Structure 1
Amino acid sequence: MSDPTPADVERYIAQGLACEQLAVEGDGRHFFATIVSAEFEGLSRIARHQRVYRALGDRMREQIHALSMKTLTPAEYAAAPAASATHHHH
């Protein structure tokens, strides 16, 4: 199986999770996803990550360890300083 592109990862997540905002950066080996979903309301950070893993299912079982996530509810996203929305992790 070829390495997924950030666009693939984005599509996988979007298929399994209703996202308000979704951005994935990566080089095929390591990915960083910013995910804003109302489904995260009331969930702990761990539970949010598990919810994303469920959305990804088996498609990324091999690559899942290389995925970093920032999971936010729409309210948390709205409250975050604008700078964090444009901040890039390398």
Structure 2
Amino acid sequence: MAMEASEIEAMIRESLPDAKVTIQDLRGDGDHYAALVVSSAFEGISRVKQHQMVYQALKGKMGDDLHALALQTAVPE
């Protein structure tokens, strides 16, 4: 079952309330997205751990309801 971009954004914001989240549907199929997540929670944390935080926010939906997510994370400037 495909996910809506708004659902992905809501799940990320629930876990990272200050996050600025930009979601792009890459194919229009609800299965392939790109996401940019900017949060102060990423300060001083490795890129790998930042990505793990986002995947954790998706509560196991990756690989099931959400087939692919091209993820970029950043700290606010």
User: TM-score w.r.t. structure 1 length?
Assistant: 0.72
Instruction: Indicate conservation of the 8 Å contact 1:48/1:71, yes or no.
Output: yes
**1:41 alignment partner in structure 2:** 43
More helix by share: 1
**1:7 alignment partner in structure 2:** 6
Which consecutive segments of 4 or more residues in structure 1 shift more than 6 A? none
AA at the equivalent of 2:15: G
Instruction: Indicate conservation of the 8 Å contact 2:32/2:66, yes or no.
Output: no
Question: d(CA) in 2 for partners of 1:54 and 1:69?
Answer: 13
Question: d(CA) in 2 for partners of 1:23 and 1:33?
Answer: 6
User: Is the radius of gyration larger for structure 1 or structure 2?
Assistant: 1
Residue 63 (structure 1) shift:
4.4
Aligned residues: 73
Percentage of pairs with the same residue? 33
**1:19 alignment partner in structure 2:** 18
Question: d(CA) in 1 for partners of 2:45 and 2:67?
Answer: 21
CA RMSD in angstroms, aligned pairs only: 1.6
1:29-86 Cα deviation digits (max 9, x unpaired): 111111110000011111100010111112x1314550111101012xxxxxxxxxxx
Instruction: Indicate conservation of the 8 Å contact 1:18/1:39, yes or no.
Output: no
Runs of 5+ unmatched residues, structure 2: none
More strand by share: 2
User: TM-score w.r.t. structure 2 length?
Assistant: 0.82
